[in-house]
Amino acid sequence: MKIKTCKFKIIVKPNARENRVNSFDMEKGAYRVSIKAKPEGNKANAEIIRFLSKLLKQRVKIIYGLKLKEKIIEILD
């Protein structure tokens, strides 16, 4: 996954078999990301942060969409 900006959009699919980046949705300008965690009690958001931080090898933060499937992620480092 190559990110050229410090902010990018993702569309999350919770309750997946594995954590992974599936594809880039050209129409919505967002990466489609599958996450194992359930969307209850902020578990999916925490898993997104852990997964993307490990994948990108940089700290990330959700800056928009904490309760939505579409989120905006900011790279902090």
Give the pLDDT of residue 62: 96
| Residues with pLDDT less than 70, the chain | 1-5, 77
Give the pLDDT of residue 51: 97
Give the pLDDT of residue 5: 64
Sequential DSSP letters for 12-73: EE-S-SS-EEEEEETTTTEEEEE-SS-SSTTHHHHHHHHHHHHHHTS-EEEEE-TTSSEEEE
- Give the domains, in start order, of the chain with CATH numbers: 7-75 (3.30.1200.10)
Give the pLDDT of residue 48: 97
The percent of residues above 90 in pLDDT, for the chain, comes to 88
pTM over 0.85: yes
